Amino acid sequence: MVRATLMIGLAFLLLAPVRAEDPWRGRWVDLTHNFSAQAIYWPTADSFEKTTVFDGVTDKGFYYSAFNFRAAEHGGTHIDAPVHFAKGRRGVADIPLEQLIGPGVVIRIANRLGESRNYQITVEDLTRWEAQNGPLPKGAIVLFDSGSSALWPDKRRYMGTAERGEAAVAKLAFPGIHPELARYLIEQRQIRAVGIDTPSIDYGASTLFETHRLLFEKNVPGFENVANLAELPERGFQVIALPMKIAGGSGAPLRIIAFVPGG
């Protein structure tokens, strides 16, 4: 009887399906800067402000806290919806979820900046990356790492000026995506979205915002002030970028994370 039981048990183990590897084995990377009074916003935009409704022990004897916050759509780690620069294109709440989740790549350009931070990332930067890492995956979320995240929240070093107001806009200096690269990504590569670790997908000195206009006309959203890109490999990870769902919004605060699979 014992022998028969052992044989049945052994047969069960041999015939049982092998347990699939845990699909969530790996590490998560938070690509979002904290929203606080130190968060960086465009010089003409309202900065993040948090006020206290209540924080303490109530007259019933238990602890309770609640706060209000206010801020511009475009500041801190945030999304630019296509309607931001393209009339009739998608607002924040209209962007399909599948466009905000997908295979990510990181293209590093910190060693290309030189003395000026007003560098525009080129098609050559992309093709050089592809020569080393292979072609962009279909439906890629393309993230550009200029090394700027390490400068946060020093406004002067991060975006060229700590001044506020319209006059400060002319003093902005930071890397962005060249319009020719934006056009190339639209016409030659099937991408879901772009992101960068600076205040804008256009470079700091831009006045025409051509990269915004080209991408947004094709309903390709942009993620700005992305954090911690140095913690990611060049490819082989997934991005999840979920904004506050603001109806009709041209932008919104963004919680963007990445999953890097592995043991």
Predicted confidence at residue 8, as pLDDT, reads: 45
Q: Which of 246, 253, 254 is nearest to 91 (CA)?
A: 246
Domain assignment present for residue 224? The answer is: yes
- CB-based contact 253:33 (threshold 8 Å): no
Total domains, the chain: 1
pLDDT at residue 263, rounded to an integer? 62
- CA 193 to chain CA centroid, nearest Å: 9
In this structure, how many other beta carbons lie within 10 angstroms of the beta carbon of residue 94?
15
Rounded Cα distance between 42 and 168, Å, is 9
Asked, for residue 20, whether it belongs to a domain, the answer is no
The CATH number that applies at residue 101 is 3.50.30.50
96 lies in a domain?
A: yes
What pLDDT, on the 0 to 100 scale, is given for residue 161?
Answer: 97
pLDDT at 20: 54
What local confidence, expressed as pLDDT, does residue 21 receive?
65
Rounded Cα–Cα distance for residues 108 and 229 (Å): 9
Output the pLDDT for position 191: 98
3-state secondary structure of 111: helix
Whole-number pLDDT of residue 55? 98
Full domain range(s) for residue 172: 25-45+74-261
pLDDT of the residue at 138 = 95
Q: pTM of the entire structure? A: 0.90
pLDDT at 24: 79
Whether residue 108 is contained in a domain is answered as: yes
How far is Cα 51 from Cα 67, in angstroms, rounded to an integer?
6
Q: Which long-range contacts (CB under 8 A, 24 or more apart) does 168-173 make?
A: 168/43, 168/44, 169/42, 169/43, 169/44, 172/43, 172/199, 172/204, 172/205, 173/116, 173/117, 173/118, 173/204, 173/205
Whether residue 6 is contained in a domain is answered as no
Q: Is 135 a domain residue? A: yes
| 61 falls within a domain | no
- Residue 43 CA, chain-centre distance (Å), reads 21
> Which residues does the chain have with pLDDT short of 70?
1-21, 263
Q: Please indicate, yes or no, if residue 183 is contained in any of the structural domains.
A: yes
- Pair 235, 204: CB distance under 8 Å: no
